[in-house]
Amino acid sequence: MEELLLYILIFFFIFLILYQIFLAYFKGSIIEGNTGYQDYDTSDPKNVMILAQQNAGNISALRSQFGDTQNLKSVIDDISGNVANLQSQVDGLVQAQQQSGEQLNGGSSEPITVTGTE
């Protein structure tokens, strides 16, 4: 039974490693070569605002990529609040364990001597 569990765990971790390698090579989102890129008319000599148009297009593309940062910020704030709450709970548990240990020890700072074990 233990050997079967061991083989299942080994297979599971090998699968996870291969899956990460697969994700690294076949990434779904395209960052470079953005598909939303629009070509500008650079052959028009009357168009003196080509750089401004290119910058505006680049800015709008960046805004669309980073538009979800506000949502991400709220998620991070929620997580940091949860971490602070968990830290206070852990501190309370440590203090309760320390008090229980002191009660068992009779409030003494020296360890209990055990007799009759020889």
Q: In Å, how far are 6, 8, 9, 12, 14 from 3, measured between CA atoms?
A: 5, 9, 10, 14, 16
Return the domain boundaries, the chain.
1-106
Q: Which residue has the tokens 């090579």?
A: 25
What would the pLDDT profile of 39-88 be if each residue is shown by its tens digit? 666 666 666 677 777 788 888 888 877 776 767 778 888 899 899 999 99
Most confident of 8-12, 32-36, 57-61, 73-77: 8-12
Helices and strands (H and E) in the chain: how many = 3, 0
The pLDDT assigned to 8 comes to 95
